[in-house]
Amino acid sequence: MALPATETVSSRFDRLDAWDVPAILAALWEGQLAAVAALGPALPALGRAVDAAAARLAAGGRLAYAGAGTSGRIAVQDAVELVPTFDWAEDRLVVLMAGGEAALLHSVENAEDQADQAEAAVAAHGLGAADLLVGVAASGSTPFTVAAVRAARAAGALTVGVANSPGSALLAAAEVAVAIETGAEAIAGSTRMKAGTAQKAALNLFSTAVMVRLGRVYRGQMVDMQARNAKLRDRAVRMLRGLTGCDEAAARAALDAAGGKVKLAVLVVQGMTPAEAEALLARHGGKLRGALGEA
């Protein structure tokens, strides 16, 4: 059976262990650059995934991720950061990690073969027609991830597959296939290197673009962020002052009235009550640009 591209051996690195440290680092650095460059041909597929995902999520669906090992941990990182950065509701976020939470800190290698566990997890979370599942696997053949995507798609969910091996089972199973051809690793099968970097970059682009389309970014700023600490509260004040031209005292007062929510505070500075601001944003699907246009 043909090996996935990520598992093949490159003759170029046959003497990697005999090279000096500068040569080793230069070769590994080159691989990281190649990983990001490999995203270029995948951008059209990522664009289709973003459009489809934004439409599904704008209607109230949940965003789910599935993966195992390195790919799963990368997916989890992308998922959890959406909550503070874009105020994505935790009850609209589902993570299916082979081996469960224990696999985030410890290697649970056999978990990736448990397709039945993935199917059970999809059913337990009730993923269906309103939802979106993103499956991530370097080889594209991980049984857990492939099974999760197949089960979610059968239940009516939108499915996106991200893999580094073209023609793989995961890409065939997903409704939207994103193939990132990173090829052989400097250390054969060590997919935390090129493949992992490409996956992290792809998910960065995907989830950020989705949040932009959902109106959670305005003028290049994270106007839906959760200001949970002093640094972020100060950022919220600077953001509001920059967006409205108000002074610091007015910014802090508006943020207090808006419960710390920058988008609401922008409209409060315009003279609205928080309730009026919420209603206006709701009419424009949460998009501040549209709300300001009407105001």
Domain ranges of the chain: 7-213, 230-294
* Residues 195-200, mean pLDDT to the nearest whole number: 97
* Residues 105-117, mean pLDDT to the nearest whole number: 87
Q: Is the pLDDT of residue 129 over 70?
A: yes
* Residues 244-265, mean pLDDT to the nearest whole number: 96
* Residues 241-261, mean pLDDT to the nearest whole number: 96
* Residues 145-168, mean pLDDT to the nearest whole number: 97
Query: Which pLDDT score is estimated for 134?
Result: 98
Share of the chain above pLDDT 90, in %: 90
Higher-confidence position of 6 and 122? 122
The helix/strand/coil state of 179 is strand
Q: Could you confirm whether domain 7-213 is CATH 3.40.50.2300?
A: no
For residue 99 the two structure tokens come to 């081996």
54-68 pLDDT per residue, tens: 999 999 999 999 999
Q: Is the pLDDT of residue 1 over 80?
A: no
Q: Which among 7, 30, 90, 112 is annotated as catalytic?
A: 112
Query: Which pLDDT score is estimated for 107?
Result: 80
The answer to whether residue 185 is catalytic is no
The answer to whether residue 112 is catalytic is yes
Q: Which among 7, 81, 276, 278 is annotated as catalytic?
A: 81
Distance of alpha carbon 56 from alpha carbon 210, whole angstroms = 10
Average pLDDT over the chain, rounded to an integer: 95
Query: Which pLDDT score is estimated for 17?
Result: 93
Q: What is the pTM of this model?
A: 0.93
Residue 60, C-beta contacts closer than 8 angstroms, at least 6 positions apart: 130
Cα angle vertex 154, ends 95, 136, to 5°?
A: 40
Domain topology for 230-294: Helicase, Ruva Protein; domain 3 (1.10.8)
**Model confidence band, residue 102 (pLDDT cutoffs 50, 70, 90):** confident
Query: Which pLDDT score is estimated for 4?
Result: 85
Q: Is the pLDDT of residue 168 over 70?
A: yes
Q: Is the pLDDT of residue 76 over 80?
A: yes
Query: Which pLDDT score is estimated for 164?
Result: 96
Helix axes 43-58, 194-213, angle to 10 degrees: 40
Distance spanning both ends of the chain, measured CA to CA: 63
Q: Is the pLDDT of residue 151 over 90?
A: yes
